[in-house]
Structure 1
Amino acid sequence: MIFLKKVLIIYNPKSGRFSEDKLSYILNFFKSKNILTYPLNMIERPIKKNLANFFDMVLVAGGDGSLNYVINNLVFSDIPIAHLPTGTVNLFALENKTPYSLGEALNEIIYKYKPVKINLGKANEQYFIAMVGIGLDAFIVKSMEEKIRKSKKRIYNNSIKYLNYICNIIKISGNYKFYDLSLNVIDSGNTGDSNAHGFERRELHYAKEIIVSNIRYYGGPFKVFPKNSPLDDKFDIRLVKDVNNRIQTIFSILKSLTLYKKYEDNPDFYIKAGKIYISSLDPAQNEKIYYQCDGEFAGTLPVEIEKVNNAVTMLVNPASFL
């Protein structure tokens, strides 16, 4: 249990499962515990580290994208961050085994969870807590963001929203053109590794789709990286090769769920590294290839991705992390 007097509640009103009723519930919960709260709408007001430092805890009510936004603003701060899953997928909540019931989650956060320094990833200048996707899934993320911005209709039922999301993914992915990607391992965790620019390459891989993960889950309750952890000093990286369409890509990733033990030591499927550099095999195509961080569009290739140790303090479930 951590001692709390004041809590900064950062919420995303547009996250998948958020509602004003849930915000009221959260505020009343802390009021009943004689804990002062300060709610901050992350869409209307920027997050500043010097503001957060006045509080004993930052509670993020949103999805993985909301959590990503907060950690990028509070990276290397000692203030504990707790995540209350009100997004559509909530990968970090799955990793942390955080209940979806507001009451259960809040009680576990203040009475059971412990502050732990965890490692983040950094893709160019953006930090991430869950994963980076390069290729098809980043194309889907960008296309979905554009579709949501144009849509005036909001779906409040999370199950229907998730099914609608899957249907849109299937439709959008049919428009994707696959490119040849190169992945240069700069640091595999061994001494003597060096910078990608101007140094001899240690290890080079090729793929059509690349997933760089900091946690076990990907795309929902799917353990594509069952031995991974944000406490590790290396990423688990899934390479998807020899595919030219969405069906082949999906089946390739499904192998990770059903035949992980068979493929975990096969470098054609999985590798581990602490720092990598990803580019198109044809550099002229880089600006056409997207990457995403924690389910949010982040930019185009090339991208350098590295593990950053002890980057943020999270309140975590001891059963999952300790």
Structure 2
Amino acid sequence: MFASLPAAFLMMLLLAGTSATAQTCPPPGEAEGRCIELTAEGTNEVPEVQISPGQPTTFRFDSDVRAGGMTLENREHFEVAPGRRLLTLEPSEKMRGAKSSMVTVCFADDAVPACANFRLVVHPAIGERQVEIFRHPRSVDSVQAELRKTREENSDLRAEIQRLHAERDRPEGLIGLFASGMVGEAGIPSQTITKRITKRESNTLRPRTVTTFRAPGRVAIELWLENPDAVKSWTPQGAVLVGPRGEVLDATFWPAEPIPSGEERRVWLEVMAPDARTEGTFTLKLWEADGQRTFVIGNVTFPALTVGLGL
């Protein structure tokens, strides 16, 4: 399995694996939340953790935290729930648009590193829900799992390259839509959900019409949005769909142009994901270029694919 790895590197991994007794971070993509490893060699590194106003972020440590050993910048703007191995931080609305803050946590034992620093970066709409903190090197089992994951990812990448080559050889325009299987005789299913969506009082845009679409492996949303601000235009910067279990799907949007004051514009969003991942009820989050204003709607659903869709 490790024939291509240098023997010295393998020996180092094996020695590390025999001495490590605590948990280790799973390979990327297999953990439900964020995972950070702390080592004596990396004491000068300050990991960034993304937080968002009104959304709690929980740090879960594999070692006891010293009581009173936490310092937090701008603490008056946070709800803080400390524990023996848990620390939950919920920033208030006063942190929206603020600069990053530092939090320092010190541990109850004499192990190294004695303390850990994290930079809390404020995002207007998305905060990390859970962050696992481990204070030891990774074991050989973790390396083997990561290598297996890497082989799987390489296989997926090769398949994606083959798909892109195949798409490059297809015609464009309407013929290309039929050739790709996105459109069949029944067309692309759509539904208008304007009357069903839920809206936040803090929204700085007004939804006039919301229509959702589905094609194999992707969904789209057509939004007609009004900017009621009498002075300032509204320029979208990013968008995501948040699923019923908290999963986040990145969305592309078009056009990336300002919505002028008092005017209405159409914005398209698209998500590339397997059909099973876009089933259920979602929350759409769209945020502005300077991070001060957001647009959030809930109860977003997508139509089912028509049987026999595509060629």
Higher strand fraction (1 or 2): 2
**Structure showing greater relative contact order (alpha-carbon pairs closer than 8 Å, 6 or more residues apart):** 1
With structure 1 as the length reference, what TM-score do the two structures score?
Answer: 0.26
TM-score by length of 2: 0.27
Between Structure 1 and Structure 2, the one with more helix by share is 1
